[in-house]
Amino acid sequence: MTIPLRSPGSNDQSSQKGLAAGTKDGGYGVGTWDVGPFDNDKAADWCGDLDDAAPEQRVQLIRDALTEVADHGDDYLHSTLAEVAIAAAAIVASQLPGGDPITSPYAPDFLRDGGSVNMPEDIANLGLRALDRVVGDNSEWRELWEDASPESYAEAVAALTPIRSALRAARS
């Protein structure tokens, strides 16, 4: 998969495998190495923060990440917010019946080591709303994957399918 690289403050694009674009507002580049929910710098950093948080604070951190995107409105959604929301939604899905277990080395250690987070009933719907916003209009995440190639965008959206499936099943 090839993802475009934009240097900080540059509109120049070059293709390099395993590197993703920075934000369109001239921010520093964010590394993305694959389409998985934890396969980028921002999600991996957020997962480290979640791992370091006290267990009783983790649900609120997950809820905050999802709410920030789900309730973002029509304003431009920067990719860093989207990347964290995708990671949070994947964590929620992993804790639900039928959800894929967490195996990524970039996910929170406590989950890879068999730990869990007790998810409130309403959080699956919040996760779906956040994912809808990520792939919707006026989303930098979407634009960056579409700019990479139609195939890359399709692969990135397909990576969200098992997350969406687990979240939907929890609503039923």
Mean pLDDT of the 11-18 span: 32
What pLDDT was estimated at residue 28? 31
Residue 43: how many CB atoms within 10 A of its CB? 27
Cα gap 136→130, rounded to integer Å: 10
Cα gap 74→89, rounded to integer Å: 20
Domain ranges of the chain: 35-171
**pLDDT tens-digit map of 142-164:** 999 999 999 999 999 999 999 99
Contact 43, 106 (CB under 8 A): yes
Query: What's the whole-number average pLDDT of the chain?
Result: 85
Sign of CA dihedral 57, 30, 105, 133: positive
pLDDT of 168 higher than 90 = yes
**pLDDT tens-digit map of 107-145:** 999 999 999 999 999 999 999 999 999 999 999 999 999
Residue 25: how many CB atoms within 10 A of its CB? 9
Residue with the larger pLDDT of the pair 22 and 59: 59
Q: Hey, what's the torsion of the CAs at 87, 93, 95, 101, to 10 degrees?
A: -80
What pLDDT was estimated at residue 171? 80
What pLDDT was estimated at residue 17? 31
pLDDT of 83 higher than 50 = yes
**pLDDT tens-digit map of 34-47:** 999 999 999 999 99
Dihedral pair phi/psi, residue 25, rounded to 5°:
-85, 15
What pLDDT was estimated at residue 14? 31
